[in-house]
Amino acid sequence: MENQKNPAASFSTWDYVIFALMLVISAAIGVYYAFAQHREQTSKDFLVGGQSMTAVPVALSLTASFMSAVTVLATPVEVYSNGAIFVLSCLGFVLMVAISSELFLPIFYRLGITSTYEYLEMRFNKVVRLFGTAMFIIQTLLYTGVVIYAPALALNQVTGISLWGALISTGMVCTFYCTLGGFKAVVWTDVFQMIIILAGFLAVIIQSVLLRGGVSVIFKDSADGGRLNLWDFDPSPLRRHTFWTITIGSTFIWTSIYGINQAQVQRYVSCKTLLHAKMSLYINLVSLWIILLFAVFCGLCLYSFYKNCDPWTVKMVTSQDQLMPFLVMDIFGDYPGIPGLFVAAAYSGTLSTVSSSVNALATVTVADLIGPYFSFSERKLSWASKGLSVFYGLVCIGMAALASVMGGLLQGGLAGLISGLLVSLWLCIGAQVYHPLPENTRPLPLQTHGCNITSHEYYFRNWTSNSTQASYITSAEHYKAVERPLLADYWYSLSYMYFCPLGTIVCIVIGQIVSFFSGGETLKLEQGLTLTKEDLTCYKIYTILKQKATGNADGLDLVTKKMKSGRANLAFCDVELDITKIQAPRLLA
């Protein structure tokens, strides 16, 4: 630690070239798809790629959509501070993919909807649909502001470039290729950006292993520091991370994203067949595992380097979110271009998430707020989609200003929806005002006895003086000095991983109670709005095996044909969807 260099001075011309090249290629993909369309682009082409996508690019796009710069910067820090138990999210990913592919995807694909909120009107009424759309727009704009701000902070720390310059450039690049190329440009830039993210992680991992003397050394350091805390079965819901909070919590959190989120469902519907749509989810599972394992191992590398001298405790950085860029400049200061690759990786996470958000926002606005109420031609709808992409891109840049004052980076029916939302908000706000007690979060110790920064102390304090203040409060004296209500030590101390499951349960319970007393339980559902046994992959496999066993080749051919043809999508049916008069689509023979 005593030989630290000025990070800003270490960012060379090659670093700028690598970073700029990533931005140029991303923008070029948008330009390509803008001119690759030989016919006039319809709103369906712009918003869902004309329903012609295949499994692999959609799978990588699914992963990139919510693997933002928060993943690149904050997940390693979570492991550095609280241990590798976060890797158990892999189990949640498995459950999420099974639930999303078997329970949610078949219904959305069969209905052929553009916006997921169309289903709310089919299942409930127009008020629920509009409320859901409004909540999605607000939530997405707030979230996108955070993921724009995160890499801008990293870039500012390692290059000295203006924070606002980085914020604006991110938003402008996303807006550019989203508007020009539409959905296909978004998907293929996601594929490219996934490669960059993996390359950035690999660079850090390889160099760390070489400098520390092998993988075994990193694991030994992590074990000695208590970071390999994988099997904590404490049932307390107040504990930040246990086997139960992570497995259950991550299943609910990621199912809420992959099962019903507009950005993800939009990708399923873009697939040319139901089989491709399901395969995209299972391929995406492998991608999620790889990204998470890389991020967790980077966190172990981070701890191995700074196990005896935590840069945050000694104020070399004033926020733990700065630790990853700090490590990169520490180990790659003499390798021109590699720091630029890491910054490009962080930026790629942002570009993929923001572009998905902008495209999804434009889609729900056209499908839910314009299409049902205005008789626009396809040409006008296409132009409206592009105009909305520009508008939402600019709004996201503005929302980043709100995110710039925030701290750490990681953290049925109308009645049920509102109740679940209010309970979740109550928990989130209470947890921010009254931080959970250290005995519940149990942060792992960070050491400083190995630091030797006398000659550099004032430099590092100045380097980080304008940065976000640390959001991780672990001092026991702080809690004693603050008067805490009874709810603070129990209700507000609930693990953040349980916020989503609790909100979901409240939504379902309240929705069922209101439905029962209002007579909603007696209403007959229209066909096609709920899951059937024919939607399940296991049932289709059973049918194929049964046909083989009985020698019914004609039945086998029919089942196989339906699995591959994707004619469950209304785009391949001989009836059109009328949301005022839902009927089960009649499949073509």
Task: Please say whether the dihedral angle defined by the alpha carbons of residues 93, 95, 97 and 100, taken in this order, is positive or negative.
Answer: negative
Same domain for 224 and 75, yes or no, is yes
Same domain for 539 and 480, yes or no, is no
Contact 521, 515 (CB under 8 A): yes
Same domain for 437 and 389, yes or no, is yes
Same domain for 502 and 551, yes or no, is no
- The count of domains in the chain is 2
Same domain for 382 and 494, yes or no, is yes
Contact 41, 262 (CB under 8 A): no
What confidence tens digit (pLDDT) does each residue in 34-84 have? 787 655 566 666 666 667 788 888 888 888 887 777 788 889 999 998 889
Distance, in Å, from the CA atom of 152 to the CA atom of 19, rounded to the nearest integer, reads: 13
Inside any domain, residue 209: yes
What confidence tens digit (pLDDT) does each residue in 517-540 have? 666 555 666 667 777 777 777 877
Inside any domain, residue 141: yes
DSSP state of 565: H
CA 302 vs CA 5, 307, 343, 575: distances in Å: 18, 8, 17, 57
Distance, in Å, from the CA atom of 483 to the CA atom of 544, rounded to the nearest integer, reads: 65
Residue after which a domain boundary falls, among 489, 518, 547: 518
The residue range of the domain holding 547 is: 527-572
Distance, in Å, from the CA atom of 532 to the CA atom of 543, rounded to the nearest integer, reads: 14
What's the CATH code of the domain at 301?
1.20.1730.10
Q: What pLDDT score was predicted for residue 419? A: 58
Same domain for 309 and 326, yes or no, is yes
pLDDT > 70 fraction of the chain, expressed in percent and rounded: 72
Same domain for 140 and 246, yes or no, is yes
The chain-wide mean pLDDT, for the chain, equals 76
Same domain for 167 and 196, yes or no, is yes
pLDDT > 90 fraction of the chain, expressed in percent and rounded: 15
Same domain for 408 and 537, yes or no, is no
What confidence tens digit (pLDDT) does each residue in 269-314 have? 888 888 899 999 999 999 999 999 999 999 999 999 999 888 888 8
pLDDT at 472 exceeding the cut of 50: no
Same domain for 329 and 471, yes or no, is yes
Residue type at 339? Answer: P
Inside any domain, residue 298: yes
Task: Please say whether the dihedral angle defined by the alpha carbons of residues 23, 25, 26 and 28, taken in this order, is positive or negative.
Answer: positive
